[in-house]
Chain A
Amino acid sequence: DGGITQSPKYLFRKEGQNVTLSCEQNLNHDAMYWYRQDPGQGLRLIYYSQIVNDFQKGDIAEGYSVSREKKESFPLTVTSAQKNPTAFYLCASSMILGTSVRNEQFFGPGTRLTVL
């Protein structure tokens, strides 16, 4: 049963703590992405990775860190440096086909992070 999973579904964090959100995919996709969604807003790109051991900053990378040690996994750490981390976090993956324009993204169910 192929797909992309995120855990936990809900996460509570005290101010000053780092937390790590998990994202795993078994779709054999090359690229993975992390987005942040605030209430009533669209998605903003935090980080993305097109290949193992390589990742790029998105539009709002400050206060976040990632790693891509395995093709299947792309965990996101929300550090204490992130000023307003309460949000809905979505992970996605896609197949990169060189110059092909077919690159729809497949999304996980999301993690809702609340800072207490």
Chain B
Amino acid sequence: SQQGEEDPQALSIQEGENATMNCSYKTSINNLQWYRQNSGRGLVHLILIRSNEREKHSGRLRVTLDTSKKSSSLLITASRAADTASYFCATDPNAGGTSYGKLTFGQGTILTVHP
């Protein structure tokens, strides 16, 4: 079963608005990562948040992590048409504290930003 589940499956907004995507997972984790995929392309790493962190910022991106609820959110502020893409969360399961590098990806949120 999928470790990460994104919500919503699709999101359509106007340029300048904020976009929020959520991710839930089932087991304890070392870290949670967000990736972006433009149509027909490979994934690009956006941001990583460790299990002992609660919030992280990178440019217009803000990620939160609530390990008690096993959930994370990705906020893109002041969205642009170029932000149109699919966004995936990925979890690194905590196997006794050792990271084996194996990630589990969710099914993604398709974000469309209209100019």
| Residues on A facing B (Cβ under 8 Å) | 31, 33, 35, 40-45, 48, 50, 58, 88, 90, 92, 94, 96-110, 112
Total CB contacts across the A-B interface at under 8 A: 74
The answer to whether A110 and B44 have CB atoms under 8 Å apart is no
| Residues on B facing A (Cβ under 8 Å) | 2, 4, 30-31, 33, 35, 40-45, 48, 50-51, 88, 90, 92, 97-108
The answer to whether A97 and B48 have CB atoms under 8 Å apart is no
The answer to whether B42 and A107 have CB atoms under 8 Å apart is yes
CB distance from A29 to the nearest CB of B (A): 9
Contacts A42-B2, A42-B107, A101-B50: A107 and B97 contacting too (C-beta < 8 A)? no
Question: Which residues of the other chain, B, contact A106 by a CB distance below 8 angstroms?
Answer: 45
CB<8 Å pairs between A and B, sample of 25: A31-B101, A40-B107, A41-B108, A42-B2, A42-B4, A42-B107, A43-B43, A45-B103, A48-B101, A90-B43, A92-B43, A96-B99, A96-B100, A97-B99, A99-B98, A100-B99, A101-B31, A101-B50, A103-B103, A104-B45, A105-B101, A107-B35, A107-B44, A109-B41, A110-B42
Question: Which residues of the other chain, B, contact A31 by a CB distance below 8 angstroms?
Answer: 101
CB distance from A61 to the nearest CB of B (A): 13
Partner of B92, one of A43, A58, A97, A103: A103
Bound complex: CA A35 to CA B90 (Å): 13
Question: Which residues of the other chain, B, contact A50 by a CB distance below 8 angstroms?
Answer: 100-101
CB nearest neighbor in A for B104: A45
Bound complex: CA A42 to CA B91 (Å): 13
Question: Which residues of the other chain, B, contact A110 by a CB distance below 8 angstroms?
Answer: 40-42
